[in-house]
């Protein structure tokens, strides 16, 4: 069965600092992996997705994530945090040929001035 674990329900960084949001997955088949962002009172917006084409995936707003099969991880990073990055971030997994997307519990990112 698929599952996603996001380490840390809350992460706080200073503006300009590195953002690192951790995600580990479990899947019996090669997975498709996603990072979404959700701002208050809004739906989810896709940041980036891994579909086996390249292990380092670049997304919108300067975010990127690296797929590491040996560590079953797909951590999200951004070199320099901006105040506008404050939001909730969700890691998600979907199996090849599957129809369901399984979401992690989410990590709320706080950015301090």
Partner 1 sequence: KAGVTQTPRYLIKTRGQQVTLSCSPISGHRSVSWYQQTPGQGLQFLFEYFSETQRNKGNFPGRFSGRQFSNSRSEMNVSTLELGDSALYLCASSLGRTAQGTDTQYFGPGTRLTVL
The site for partner 1 (CB under 8 A) is made up of: 31-32, 36, 41-46, 49, 51, 90, 94-106
CB of 9 to partner 1, least distance (A): 10
In the complex with partner 1, which residue's Cβ is closer, 77 or 101? 101
Residue 21 CB, shortest distance to partner 1, in Å, is 15
Name which of 55, 37, 43, 52 is nearest 92 in CA terms.
Answer: 37
Q: How far is the CB of 12 from partner 1 (least distance, A)?
A: 19
d(CA 34, CA 55): 13
Measured in degrees and rounded to the nearest 5, phi and psi for residue 24 equal -120, 145
């Amino acid at each position: 069965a698929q599952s996603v674990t996001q380490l840390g329900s809350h992460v706080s960084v200073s503006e300009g600092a590195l953002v690192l949001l951790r995600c580990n997955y479990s899947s019996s088949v090669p997975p498709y992996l996603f990072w979404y962002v959700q701002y208050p009172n809004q739906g989810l917006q896709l940041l980036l997705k891994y579909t086996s084409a390249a292990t380092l995936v670049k997304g919108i707003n300067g975010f990127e994530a690296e797929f590491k099969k040996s560590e079953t991880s797909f951590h999200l990073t951004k070199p320099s945090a901006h105040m506008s990055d404050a939001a909730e971030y969700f890691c998600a997994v979907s199996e090849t040929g599957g129809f369901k997307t399984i979401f992690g519990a989410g990590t709320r990112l706080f950015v301090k001035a």
